[in-house]
Amino acid sequence: MMGNQELIHDIVSNVAEECRLDKLNLPDNIYVSHRSCEGTRYTFFLNYAREAHEILLPVEGTDAITGEFISGTIKLNGLDVLVVKRSV
């Protein structure tokens, strides 16, 4: 018999596959959210852990805080946030 967590995982995996959504391989306590407004997409990376994590960004764009172009692997410090801004 399948447990609740396994069932939820299977359902979400099936829906993601049907919708052709990319799966992100992120460390625990790293969360991603997207928002769009007037042709600009903002991707938020939030580190809820106290320790830093290296993550491979699935997008490239401008760091909304520093204005620097970012892509590839970055270090997200503990309890930190990164906002990537890009045109859509």
Domains of the chain: 25-87 (2.60.40.1180)
Cβ atoms < 10 Å from Cβ of 72: 8
In the sheet with 40-47, reading across from the earlier edge strand, the strands are 30-37, 40-47, 81-87, 61-63, 69-70
Q: What is the pLDDT of residue 67?
A: 98
Q: Average pLDDT across each block of 10 residues of the chain; the chain has 88 residues. List them in order.
A: 80 85 85 96 97 95 98 97 97
- One DSSP character per residue, 19-79 reads TTPPPP---TTEEEEEEEETTEEEEEEEE-SSS-EEEE-SS-EEETTT--EE-SEEEE-TT
